[in-house]
Amino acid sequence: MSKKTILLFTVLLLVLSVTAAPKPKNVVFLIGDGMGIAQVYAGMVANGNTLTLEQFKHVGFSKTYSYDNFTTDSAAGGTALSSGIKTRNGMIGMNPDSTKVETILEQADRNGLATGIVVSCAVTHATPASYIAHQINRGMEEEIAADFLKTDVDVFIGGGRKYFEKRKDGRNLIDELKAKDYQIANNMDEVKKVKSGKLAGLVTDGHPAAMPDRGDMLPDATSTALNILKSNKKGFFLMIEGSQIDWGNHSNDVEFSNREMIDFDKTISKVLEFAKKDGKTLIIITADHETGGLTMPSGSLEKGEVKAKYTTGGHSGIVVPVFAFGPGAEEFTGFMENSSFKEKIAKLLKLK
Ligand code: MG
Ligand code: ZN
């Protein structure tokens, strides 16, 4: 080859490497349960008119209706996000005809990526269950706990220890987890000590406390999970849920909602800090549905408060926001179905 030809090839390669859309190695998927636009903004006002979420420049909307209802519950909503299908309210990781569907976490695991779940509720509750379990009804929490043993999830942190050790069938899933090489952490001090390997962090018997009583459980558990999962050379998929935003709004208690929203945003800060440093991590943030039909006819930025008007004690059917950052973030703008995330993530991570 002449020097001229070599130069031409070099320039061509450079141009190609610059123009080809970069692909993520890792995906962190954050779900604010019940987090509509009003919950985000009320939290922002309460937090001095700012949230880390404002740094996300790729923004869209997710349509949350389920297979059988205009207004989804967290089981069908979680299953749509995790598994790419709309199903019946109440169902976990199953098609409307009760057949199992593979979740994005299971697919990532099958492709050799590390996987994790970090939540501020029991790990057997509807949203985390939707990523790892396959049950006809979300209320089957002992069956859901047993489904954790059927996977190779590397890290899971949340509450719900009682579903693993005080069971009707007499099985002790804590012993079974130990036999599968899991390190068991019974509180956050023990969680924070784990730097590698497999971790089952069951930090409370039932649900962790609401804010402010649970402290930095969610952001700290997130840091531990990121630190463990990052060592996998093929990358990782991590799902994190701000579980109790939903509960504050079921109670039509905007201050409860704000405390949970600000805790979720603090968790987002931890992930964003990691992603900025790493450069190969895609962050996607959305909700499974809105809760409470919240709006605010008035408020005060000086006082950091809104006048909350709730239209229901249940969920609403309105679209919810989507925020994305990192390689592939442009795929998550405009209007999208809640069932479109799995395929997009699988494609970006080149999963088979
Ligand atoms: Mg939930
Ligand atoms: Zn709810």
**Ligand 1: centre distance to CA 278 (Å):** 28
**Ligand 1: centre distance to CA 124 (Å):** 10
Q: Which of 74, 82, 130, 316 is catalytic?
A: 74
**Ligand 2: centre distance to CA 150 (Å):** 27
Ligand nearest to the CA of 244: 1
Ligand nearest to the CA of 243: 1
pLDDT digits (tens, 9 = 90+) for 25-82: 999 999 999 999 999 999 999 999 999 999 999 999 999 999 999 999 999 999 999 9
The pair of three-digit structure tokens given for residue 99, joined into one six-digit string? 């057949």
- Does pLDDT of 192 surpass 70? yes
Confidence (pLDDT) at 10: 72
Confidence (pLDDT) at 17: 59
Confidence (pLDDT) at 12: 67
Residue 162: band (very low, low, confident or very high) from pLDDT cuts 50, 70, 90: very high
Residue 5: band (very low, low, confident or very high) from pLDDT cuts 50, 70, 90: confident
**Distance from C-alpha of 56 to C-alpha of 322, rounded to nearest angstrom:** 10
**Ligand 1: centre distance to CA 123 (Å):** 10
**Ligand 2: centre distance to CA 249 (Å):** 8
Confidence (pLDDT) at 22: 86
Whether 74 is catalytic is yes
